[in-house]
Amino acid sequence: MTLAIVIAVVVVALVFDYTNGFHDAANAIATSISTRALTPRIALILAAVMNFVGALLGQKVAHTVSDVISTEKLSANHGLVIVLSGLVGAIVWNLVTWYFGLPSSSTHALVGGLVGAALAAGASVHWHTIVDKIVIPMVASPLVGFVLAFLVMLSIMWIFRRRNPHKVFRGFRLMQTVSASALALGHGLQDAQKTMGVIFLCLVISKHAQPTDGLPLWVVVCSASAISFGTYSGGWRIMRTLGRKIIDLDPARGFSAEAVGAAVLYTTAYVWQAPISTTHTITSAIMGAGATKRFSAVRWGVARSILTAWILTFPAAGAVSAVFYLVMRHVFRLP
């Protein structure tokens, strides 16, 4: 039975990875499409390719995710059901927020799901990892993204203050191909690793791997492929929210938001080893760049709706996971 549950967890993890891709595809390409720097289809292909490449560039975030909970005192089947329940909670929340067009965090849905299932099962939760690697970066990354995008855009406005706006925008429209690619690469670097971390946790629980081992190649390739295919499928509902409903972006502001978002993703992945939310980061960067027009130019009502989705992500995904775990515990007759 253990092998069957392992296979089920891996399949569901890759399904989550796929939903992560189409849920977060808007992160990398919404600004480029809204400023007409790229056509939707070209943008999706570019984002899918860069997501795949980014997923191959690191493993530190994956190991952080695999350290969120501990199931050492439980049987292998029990631990695997906890992971399975956490994934189901994350997928359900991703689909709910996708349906309503809200750019919530797949990262925090996954962590909330794992924690909710672990608490329902009485398993150990590594709160120090959650606080240091998830909660603090969760708060810090949007603030940093907003401030840096605001400052970068102010610098651009000052540097090009005497230039022809049409020529400047044409140049930044071309540069958005680079910034969108960099952001998509950062998304793959961050988000695909989260699925790798969950699959690796599953392998450790089932004794198919040791905590000190590196990630198997098949885990890396499968996770990279799933998020890439998901990205190509596109998340058009969320794309409209990020690209138009927050603020009408021009190419310079789109470039500022994407460049800052990519920089924050790389820094947290390689320096902090923290699984931050790509959604939080790029959304706040869009707001920061847009606020340089005037603060009233940002549609703060939409921003409040997005903030509400962020706040609800942890408890909502956790609650769904806890309920699913209780059902699965009865189905598998776990002690």
Candidates 176, 188, 142; CA nearest to 254 is 176
Cα gap 172→197, rounded to integer Å = 37
Closest CA to 179 of 62, 96, 257, 110: 257
Interval 154-169 mean pLDDT: 90
pLDDT given for residue 21 in this prediction: 81
Does the structure show a pLDDT above 80 at 96? yes
Q: Using the structure block, give the residue that is written with the tokens 């439980």.
A: 74
pTM assigned to the model: 0.85
Please indicate whether residue 263 or residue 292 has the higher confidence score (pLDDT).
Answer: 263
Q: What is the spatial distance between Cα 78 and Cα 325, in angstroms, rounded to a whole number?
A: 10
- Determine contact, residues 47/258, Cβ cutoff 8 Å: no
The pair of structure tokens assigned to 310 is 């962020």
Q: How far apart are the first and last CA of the chain?
A: 15
Tell me the Cα Rg of the chain.
20
Task: Identify the burial level of 154 via C-beta atoms within 10 angstroms of its C-beta, where 0-12 means exposed, 13-18 middle and 19 or more buried.
Answer: middle
Q: Please tell me the predicted confidence (pLDDT) of residue 182.
A: 92
Report how far residue 290's alpha carbon sits from residue 308's, in angstroms, rounded to the nearest whole number.
20
pLDDT surpassing 80 at residue 244: no
